[in-house]
Amino acid sequence: MNAPADVPLAAARFTGERVPRKEDRRLLTGHGAYVDDVTMAGMVHGMFVRSPIARGRIVAIDVEAARALPGVRAVYTAADLDRHPAKLTGLYGSAESKFPDIWPLAKEDVRHVGDPVAIVLADDRYVAEDGAALVVVEYDDADAVVTIDDAATGAIVHPDLDTNVALMIATPEDPGLEAVFAGAAHVVTGTITHQRQAHVPMETRGIVAALQGSGEMLIHASCQSPHMVARYMDLAFAMPDLHFRVIAKDVGGAFGLKVQPWREEVAIVAAALLIGRPVKWIEDRLENLTASNQAREQDVTVRLAFDADATLLAADIDYRCNLGAYPHGADPNSLAMVMFPGPYKLPRYKFRAQGFYSNTAGQAAYRGPWAMESLARETLLEKAARQIGIDAVELRRRNLITAADQPHTMLTGFVIDRVTPRETLDKLVAHLDTPAFRAEQAAARAAGRYLGLGFAVYVEPTTMAFGGILSSDVADIRIEPTGKVTLTVSTHSQGHGTETTMAQLVADTLGVDIEDVSVMEDDSSRGGFGPGAGGSRQAVSGGGATLIASGKLADKIRAIAAHVLNASPDTISLAGGKVLVAGVAEMTTTVKEIAEIAYYQTERLPEGMEAGLEARHRYRPPPVVYSNAAHACTVEVDVETGMVKILRWVTCEDCGPMINPAVVEGQIAGGVVQGIGGVLYEQISYDARGNPTAVTFKDYLIPTAHDVPELEFLHIATPSASEGGFKGVGEGGAIVGPPTLVNAIADALAPFGADCLTLPLSPPRVLAEIGTRD
């Protein structure tokens, strides 16, 4: 605001700063607008009747008692919903994927505990649950296929498929590989097993569906993008005369679970079509922990070959994952195969991955769905360091790609560029004071206490605009006649802070105050299609679209001002809501005055210029934008109880220039702590009959404020080739966090020869690793 008129805008006021979040006031004062806050006249509440068995045939369904209960308005089974058949589609997979027919409600058989069989609609949720309890379903129970091993050898989960293998992918045969292993100075092997996790956003899934007249279905949904929900419903129902409008203002976390609607949401829309009244379904926590899609449950067997200098020669990986019954896609986290080499020079490589169907809840993408590649690689590298007798950091330095190696074509074809794995590791190590820790560790060991230090380094493919739904994002920006700015953009926040970060970009480009910018991303009927959150891409893709659209609008302001003021556009800058002409302070005007000309005094516009102050850009980011990080943490393991205490955690990432460092650090911390949950606390488990055994928050343990360290953040900012130079950062903490922590625990327990490759490292598991249990 106080910039002298003769200085053109140079420094950004907002971009790069820890700007307070615009969304916080409403969220802190209880005025957020989440899906369960939506009520409508005549709205009924849905409750699903779910299968209590993992596998079996439906013999009979008796809904009469439920229908007769006062307050129950309808009970629907699959046969009823078939009046508007809606088939579910997968989001991931390839042409070779085997994907079963999936319908909103079970038809002839049930395939996991929680499989929805019927839906009860009632005046309130209490009565809907009363009604659901009255639906009697007779099942012909069959043995369940629960584990990966069950799936590999047991009965076929989906009768319409001839196998339980949803997809098998593999690198081409390398006939010389075995000779490399045979001739290697060091061969390191291990199988790392990651348990199943649940996403558990604090807000569960939920939807309100209401037919507006006959042609529009209005949906409020808890989702990762209203556009994705509208697209999905349109594909599922394929009704030419029905249009979908989806609204999602505030969403209480998602983490991949809500990347697309699934069976329940589709069933609710079908129910709304049938009953002709608004229908609400809010998933309860019991449903969320049993019937919502889940994540991980993977095992990876790795062989690494090194020469005498600890240089990597080859890797051989066998990867398996449990996709459950109804995964969001028939894909064994294919990116894990692509990304396993990570930031390392790896000359030879064999990888095979299989995803198996089972009678368990289906798999969904979860924050770094391919994260197992980093966990497997980084834990085995530290095992290699212990086995070879070399420092783990030194081993990495000998194998990491450097600036001189870039662009670096991975064996798997992806080209990594503008990443700094070596630099982030060096900065991290410099900050840590490793010698001091090693001295402390030695002293502690002498006193019977076990401290450990672990590292992990990774590179992450973000944005992933190499085809399909992630290809582009769109920003529509306008300056209202009042001078206020409205950005409608295809990003979507479930806590990501895009309402703030996108406004920062706009405010700087247009030289206006951030308070004057409102960001709208909540309505599929405004703006245009974009995939929203997913693939760590919103800063890159949405940010790029926003920057370019804002730039177009800034150009138009300058053109109008130049015309009106009879100045050259080059001399005009925008700052503080003002339009400044270099060296001519008295010619200063305001954005608001230019807006008035653009809308109200159109005769003053340059010849042929379109009226108004509006601009739009659909941005195609680079196909893959790589970010990277190195993390380290220290722990103390209580060898008496197997409890792990995290002492310190340092991160050093390179996500390019940061729009808002506080938002970046929030993303990293959230990911790291989910990773801590995965390593130490969280486990979705099933018994041999396929019954889930952790169905409440009493048994599904996620970290609390008491269980987390205070993170120390270091940053390196190497611009990417994207507009603004941004890189994605949303998922990385959850990818690099787990190997960091596992490595620290394994380092602490090195005197016991423990590898710590079976997660979660619960207290009993840790004692088993130590081998000192009775």
Partner 1 sequence: MSSHAIETIVNGQSISAQVEARHTLADFLRGTAGCTGVHVGCEHGVCGACTVIVDGVAVRSCLMLAVQADGATVATAESLAAPDGTLHRVQQAMKDEYGLQCGFCTPGVVMTLAAITQGRSPDAEEIKDALSGHLCRCTGYQGMLKVAKRLGGEVQA
Partner 2 sequence: MKAAPFDYVVADSVEGAVEALADHAGDAALLAGGQTLVPLLALRMAMPGVLIDINRIDGLAGIARSGGATRIGATTRQNTILHDPLVARHVPALARATGFVGHHQTRNRGTIGGSLGLAEPAAEYPATALALGARIEARSPSATREIAIEDYFLGPYTTALDMDEMITAAIFPDWPEDTIHIVHEVARRPGDFALVGLVAAFAVEGGVFTRAGIGWFGMGPTPMKSARAEAALIGQPAATVDLAGIARLAIEDTDPMSDIHADAAYRRTVGARIFERIVGDAIGQRKAA
Binding site for partner 1 (CB under 8 A): 20-21, 23-32, 34, 36-37, 126, 200-204, 250-253, 255, 282, 284-285, 493-497, 662-663, 665-666, 669-674, 696-698, 702-706, 708, 710-711, 733
Among 133, 121, 125, smallest CA distance to 77 is for: 121
Distance from C-alpha of 387 to C-alpha of 393, rounded to nearest angstrom: 14
CA distance 427 to 713: 11
155 binds, among partner 1, partner 2, none (CB under 5 to 8 A by kind): none
- Rounded Cα–Cα distance for residues 175 and 160 (Å): 36
Positive or negative, the Cα torsion across 68, 73, 77, 82? Answer: positive
Tell me how far, at minimum, the Cβ of 720 lies from partner 2, in Å: 39
Identify residue 48 by its one-letter amino acid code.
Answer: F
The partner in contact with residue 640, picked from partner 1, partner 2, none with C-beta cut-offs of 5 to 8 angstroms by kind, is partner 2
Residue 29, classed as helix, strand or coil, is coil
Q: Report the C-alpha dihedral over residues 251, 289, 666, 732, rounded to 10 degrees.
A: -120
Which of these, 168, 137, 121, 556, lies nearest to 331 by C-alpha position?
A: 168
CB of 61 to partner 2, least distance (A): 20
Beta bridge partners of 711: 649
Q: How far is the CB of 126 from partner 1 (least distance, A)?
A: 7
Q: Are strands 450-462 and 625-638 parallel, antiparallel or unpaired?
A: antiparallel
Binding site for partner 2 (CB under 8 A): 125-126, 129-130, 133, 284-286, 447-449, 640-643, 681, 683, 685, 693-694, 696, 698-699, 701, 703-704, 706-707, 762-764, 767, 773-774
Token couple for 415: 């080209």
Q: Which does 483 bind (CB under 5 to 8 A by kind): partner 2, partner 1, none?
A: none
Q: Say which entry of partner 1, partner 2, none residue 685 contacts (CB below 5 to 8 A, set by partner kind).
A: partner 2
Q: Which does residue 200 bind out of partner 1, partner 2, none, counting CB within 5 to 8 angstroms by kind?
A: partner 1
Which CB sits closer to partner 1, 71 or 190?
71
681 binds, among partner 2, partner 1, none (CB under 5 to 8 A by kind): partner 2
Using the minimum distance from each CB to partner 2, give the nearer residue, 141 or 640: 640
Nearer to partner 2, 133 or 565 (CB): 133
Task: Rank residues 71 and 612 by Cβ distance to partner 1 and give the closer one.
Answer: 71
Q: Which does 485 bind (CB under 5 to 8 A by kind): partner 1, partner 2, none?
A: none
Q: How far apart are CA 483 and CA 487, in angstroms?
A: 13
Token code pair at residue 106: 């079970």
Burial of 442 (0-12, 13-18, 19+ CB in 10 A): exposed
CB of 195 to partner 2, least distance (A): 11
CA distances, 713 to each of 46, 422, 423, 659, 728 (Å)? 45, 17, 15, 16, 17
Q: Which does 773 bind (CB under 5 to 8 A by kind): partner 2, partner 1, none?
A: partner 2
Q: Looking at beta carbons only, is 257 or 470 nearer to partner 1? A: 257
Name the minimum Å distance from CB 209 to partner 2.
21
> To the nearest whole angstrom, how small is the minimum distance from the Cβ of residue 695 to partner 1?
10
CA 533, CA 79: separation in Å to the nearest integer? 35
| Between 204 and 463, CB nearer to partner 2 | 204
Residue 614, helix vs strand vs coil: strand
Are 483 and 592 spatial neighbours (Cβ–Cβ below 8 Å)?
Answer: yes
Q: Which lies closer to partner 1 via its Cβ, residue 544 or residue 733?
A: 733
- Please say which residue, 428 or 694, places its beta carbon nearer to partner 2: 694
What's the closest the beta carbon of residue 743 comes to partner 2, in angstroms?
A: 22
Q: Are strands 165-170 and 72-77 parallel, antiparallel or unpaired?
A: unpaired
Nearer of residues 607 and 698 to partner 2, judged by Cβ: 698
Q: Which does 764 bind (CB under 5 to 8 A by kind): partner 2, partner 1, none?
A: partner 2
Picked from partner 2, partner 1, none, the partner binding residue 762 (CB below 5 to 8 A depending on kind) is: partner 2
Alpha-carbon gap, residue 358 to 165, rounded angstroms: 10
Contact (CB, 8 A) for 76 and 119: yes
Q: How far is the CB of 252 from partner 1 (least distance, A)?
A: 3
Measured between its terminal Cα atoms, the distance across the chain in Å is 72
